[in-house]
Structure 1
Amino acid sequence: MTKPVRWGILGAAKFAREHMGPAIHAANGAELAALATSSAEKAAPFQAFAPGIAVHQSYEALLADPSIDAVYIPLPNHLHVEWALKAMQAGKHVLVEKPAALHEAEFDQLIAARGEAGVLAAEAYMIVHHPQWQRARELVQSGALGQVKHVSGRFSFDNRADVDNIRNRPETGGGALRDIGVYVFGSTRFVTGEEPQEISAQIEWENGVDVLSNVQAKFPSFLYTAYVSTRLQPHQEMAFHGDKGVLRLTAPFNPRVFGEARLELHQSSHAGGSGRMSEERFPVADHYKLQVEAFGRSLREGVAYPCPLEFSRGTQAMIDGVFKVATDL
């Protein structure tokens, strides 16, 4: 029997406690083996669902543990590159939370370090592992919508009351674009396989972080509009509009929290006639668990990882482009 991938987590972040830790523990071919935190109080919830987990008092101690194969990094955004590089230098495979870096050029450091260490390193862009997004890409690229001419994305929540949240602090790489812009941008690139040619944007700032961004872009074969915000009523939706159909995702980014993952395919029976709608539902898929299992398959079987650093670099390039054009106005 193939040995499971033994995972360690750097830091007892809330997201790791509530989502990725349980996902690693539940994933086939994976074992949540270690956690790095000096707080017994923060370690306790992890020990509750993974009783055998080893607790290291420092990040360095976990990276020095020879029994750990892979490391998940859910630290604040500005620490991602530093600790991803240290983990790779220690010979660990790395899954680092998005955004893996704050600037496109930093991805070059990660890609170079990955090659030098001979490890697998990737951004934890979990949605590409969800069957709703794999199906969306299949439908669009198979021509089910005809020629796609417009794509729109929306993602918002309101965290203004949580003033100490790292997403509200510029020094920790906060802001809506880096936190959730990766979803409306990366999902469009994933489904269509295209990259933006022109970008325009408007950004609202608050205490040094972007809290509302409205983005327009021209891709080779379609126009694109999207907004992301950390100051609006929670909402998320993606739509791909072609000349023969519309594909709508109603809970595209965190299904099971926001709602059931559902694809709606709207197609007209004839030009100008009344439409028909078919629906596909994905009520139980856990993209965090699927992400861990895909990572393990790439390690054990050598299959290509669905979301390599090169893909994530392209999304960061788009984020950088939005910041640039909005700042240059």
Structure 2
Amino acid sequence: MALRFAILGAARIAKPALIDPLSENPDASLVAIGASTRERALEYAMTHAIPNAGTYEEVIARDDVDVVYIALPPAGHCEWSLKALEAGKHVFLEKPATVNEAEARVLVDAAKKAGKRLIEAFHYRWHPLFRRAVEIVQSGQLGELVSAEAEFSVPIVRNAREFRWQASQGGGALADLGCYPVSWLRQLTGAEPEVTSAHQDLEPDGIDRRTTAHFSFPNGLQADVICDMDPEGGRKPPRLELVGTKGRLDIDNPLAPQYGAELKLTLDGQETRETFPRRPTFAYQFDGIVDAIQSGQPVWTEGADLIANAAAMAAIRRVAATG
């Protein structure tokens, strides 16, 4: 039977992340949109041809919804994920899943008790480009990993409606941008880092404009994470560099290869370049999640991984605050 989805949050991200890929998947349907007001939900429903609209509570309570996709600002993730799980729904949750490690543990525990899935939306992880990168690293071709650098810096417009510039909504460079490079490094290495140093440039309300951190992994890999919502010189392509004793891996745009990306592998001085399909990361992700829920197979970004990514970001904040 096709999975029936509902959206919580009349957000821009819902179109590429759910509405578009769902329209191409015969095993899924979109039943309803929930927003902070019925009026906002109705407007969104009309724009995107969604048959039902209501408040968050009304949508979660529907009997014809199997999966709730939560596209709210991070500060609302824990509350509404818990309510959806308690109502017997699976939860597909925008990143970052929570604003702190404690909330991540609460949600994962709640999902286990409910017997439902709680999956964090790290769309990059499903694309052939990143799957190829994982294959290269875990095959040992690079030898012992020595150093890495991962950056996602992009200008975020400052205005009253932009939650990423609001501490109360769980915004900030680390939460919105840095969660990706943290996840990239963890997924590639299959290990958890120790944060040995970190720095955050804070706004008056405490939001981090820029965050940098240094990771030390158990195998000796030393890695730097960089994220910035107001980068000098403007937008920078997301990038990932990984150096080992036998070679080097460079990826331009590991975040969204559909906009153009290249994987460059250098071994023994010989360089090879690989390109990948322009099919959106979101489409691969959506198909994978539908299949995982229907089959019961685990995925990369749930359970212990969801907690571990939140824990790594919490460690960055803690080290930056204490020096």
TM-score (norm 1): 0.91
1:306 aligns with 2:300: yes
Name the CA distance, whole Å, in 2 between partners of 1:113 and 1:220. Answer: 30
CA RMSD, aligned part only?
A: 1.5
Deviations 1:15-55 (A, max 9, x none): 113443212222352212221232233322211xxxxx322
Matched, 1:162 2:159: yes
Task: Give the conservation status (yes or no) of the 8 Å contact 2:195–2:319.
Answer: no
Deviation at 1:310, TM superposition (A): 1.3
Aligned partner of 2:113 in structure 1 is 116
**Aligned 8 A contact 1:201 1:214 in 2:** yes
Counterpart selection for 2:321 from 294, 315, 327: 327
Q: State the SS of the aligned residue for 2:208.
A: strand
Instruction: For 1:304 and 1:18, locate their aligned partners in 2 and report how far apart those are by CA, in whole Å.
Output: 23
CA distance in 1, matches of 2:265, 2:272: 5
Q: What is the match of residue 264 of structure 2?
A: 264
Question: Residue deviations 1:212-250, cap 9 Å, x none?
Answer: 111112111210112100001222100111111111110
Query: Who is 1:85 aligned against?
Result: 82
SS at match of 1:191: helix
Equivalent pair of 2:195/2:213 in contact (CA under 8 Å): no
Alignment partner for residue 257 of structure 2, among 233, 241, 255? 255
User: Following the alignment from structure 2 to structure 1, what is the Cα–Cα distance between the partners of residues 69 and 266?
Assistant: 39
Deviation readout 1:161-211 (Å, 9 max, x if unpaired):
335310001110110001111111111010111111342111101132101
Q: Is the 8 A contact 1:78 1:171 kept in 2?
A: yes
Distance 1:261 1:90 in 2: 41
Q: Does 1:145 align with 2:145?
A: no
| Conserved? CA contact 1:264–1:278, under 8 Å | yes
Alignment of 1:176-191 (within 5 A): 176-191=173-188
Native 8 Å contact 2:195 2:315 kept in 1? no
AA aligned opposite 2:181: V
Question: 2:209 and 2:217 mapped to 1: Cα distance?
Answer: 25
> Who is 1:20 aligned against?
18
Rounded Cα–Cα distance in structure 1 between residues aligned with 2:109 and 2:271: 47
- Three-state SS of the structure 1 residue aligned to 2:58 is helix
Where 2:116 maps in the other structure, the secondary structure is coil
Report what 1:285 is aligned to: 279
Partner of residue 191 from structure 2, selected from 171, 190, 194: 194
Does the 8 A contact of 1:177 with 1:210 survive in 2? yes
Q: Relative to structure 1, is the Cα distance of residues 64 and 161 closer, same or farther in structure 2, using a 3 angstrom cutoff?
A: closer
Matched with 1:240 is 242
> Secondary structure, in 3 states, of the residue corresponding to 1:266?
strand
Percent of paired sites with the same residue: 31
Preserved contact between residue 193 and residue 215 of structure 2 (Cα < 8 Å): yes
CA distance in 2 between partners of 1:262 and 1:317 (Å): 30
Distance 2:51 2:72 in 1: 19
Measured in 1, the distance between the counterparts of 2:25 and 2:264 equals 29
Whole-angstrom CA distance in 2 between matches of 1:317 and 1:27 = 34
Distance 1:95 1:63 in 2: 13
* Pairwise CA distance, 1:11: 1.8
* Unmatched 5+ stretches in structure 1: 48-52, 269-274
What letter corresponds to residue 240 of structure 2 in structure 1? Answer: M
Aligned length: 314
What runs of 5+ residues in structure 2 fail to find an aligned partner? none
Q: For the residues of structure 1 that align with 2:160 and 2:56, how far apart are their CA atoms?
A: 27
Q: Note the C-alpha offset of 1:282.
A: 1.4
